[in-house]
Structure 1
Amino acid sequence: MHFEIAYKWVVFLLPLPLLIYWLMPAMRRRRAAMLVPFFKRAATVSHQRPKKSAWVTRRNFFAWIGLFLCWICLLAAASSPRYVGKPAKKTKTVRSFLIAADISFSMAETDWVMDGKRVSRWDAVKSIMKNFVKERKSDQIGLVMFGSNAYLQAPLTTDLSTISWLLDQTEVGMAGQMTSIGQAIAFGIKVFKEDTIKQKIMLLLTDGIDAGQDILPLDAAQAARKDSIIIYTLGIGQAKGSGGYDLDEKTLKDIASATNGKYFNAMNEGELKKVYAELDKMQPVEYEEESYKPVTLLYYYPLIAAALVGLVFHLISGTISLFRRSS
């Protein structure tokens, strides 16, 4: 860090009190006088010349020094002295990224294999998602978990370590056993409305079919499009065709298409990693940097000095006047 004066031009105000003293007329005050019939005779006897009932106040030498030092301290404060550190750059948040994850009972299926071990769909998704979140350093991330209903797990924030921790605390079934895709999208729209950043991305992750409660997924997608929200849909598992299936790919594709997003499908760990990699390419991490200098203001030191100087010289002047009167 180095010392710096912000307003160097303040030094030109140093002679201002002298200019005012020379150019402005002296302040005159009226003084009460007593008139007596023998005034002229008293003046003749005392050999003193009568004066007008006004005078120019004169200050002693110490008072002038005190006032000048106070003026210097005030100018020093007005010049804004400071310690300035080295210029640094701060990453600015440029995008809001909301993850809406399905944690209905179907996500407890242990049909995924990671590191040679069978794990549930949610554990696999959660593990890979944490790495994805970790890399979104310029985005603010939010979490919405849904099942029968949608719930806010984490508001939009740049604290990515907290997001990862909250993912660890989330378990299947916490939001109910059914899948309400329409509610999840509608809830995500509400979360975005509290946000001021224009770029709004939603990642909708599910392995099931919408339960058909309250809000239809496509109606919610149209509402999201009006709010300029892009939705990427991610299907976990594989559609079984006619006669019942695990995944409604058509609805997820329609949601993505309606909001200018894209549909992805993942049936195993490797494919899910590829999905996140492709998503990174489509929505790359963007950095907007703001330059700033760490500044420590020091103006209050000369202000304190001005107050102390004024107090000391006032006491000195008062003491001198007291001695003069006593003598």
Structure 2
Amino acid sequence: MTEVSKSKLKQYLVQQSLHSEESWWLSRLILGKVKKIFGNELKAIFTGSAPITRDVLHFFRIALDIPIMSGYGQTETTACGTTTHAGDLSFDTIGSPVATVEVKLIDVPHTKYRSEMNQGEICIRGPTIFKGYYNDEVKARETIDENGWLHTGDIGEWASDGALRIIDRTKHIFKLNQGVYIAPERLEDVYIRSPWITQIFIDGISTEATVVAIVIPDEDYVRKNFKSTQTTAFTDLCKEPELKQIILTDLICLAKDNKLKYFETVTNIYLHPHPFSMENGLLTITLKTRRMNVQKQFQPIINSLYSVKKVATNNL
């Protein structure tokens, strides 16, 4: 797309090939180079691990002209959960249960999610489900109930065609002072789309009305797009008020574009120069954020973000 942006003609042709249903021949002609990158022998693609954006999925379906299927599962389910079918061209579902498991939705306490409304926490049961955590029986019992159902911590919804859709997260929900519950991982999925950042941790406290964030900026992007910064230490760059404001503004724009509520919109951020990693204890072996560890390490900073916001508000 960087190459395409150099030419108005190329931009027009690519847009036509992606968005005109009548010009499938144009799509094959213009986007044929993408198919060649994969050797012209690719028969199908399977995507999992994290949600794929609508634009990326649409591009590859058109450019490659092959089935692209989405799957859902967890380490604890040995990946097996649900999968879309080869002919499914939807963008927001994760398909139906695979042959080895059962899937059900259960009520989520203190929220609007109810199974009778075809919404609730996703629970999975079957022979591919793990037996427990090594040397941690307590955590295993918290995850798998007495009937063998694994509680995933994800909130799903059954679509009209019987496919499952992920609509929220429950694992790390917290409550704000107006009584609303926040699922931070769902918000992080939105904010991580900012090109300015590489990692983000959303948090909040029960005495406040909005959320704040710990942000790890993308060093390469920052150095290319923020002043002349090649000789400046990245630690010093993260202290720049102007950079903080640029990133915060971009995050607020993302919140608006994705129709997030005011209490889901970040009102303050802290720029941290060092990425979360397994080495510093802030990522799991599967590269997921160790939320308790991050929260413990950054709690004083999170509290200060609210204090700074209050001072700024009082000065208006």
TM-score (norm 2): 0.20
Instruction: Return the structure number with greater helix share.
Output: 1
Q: Which one has more relative contact order, counting CA pairs under 8 Å at least 6 apart? A: 1
What TM-score do the two structures reach when normalised by structure 1?
A: 0.19
Rg larger for: 1
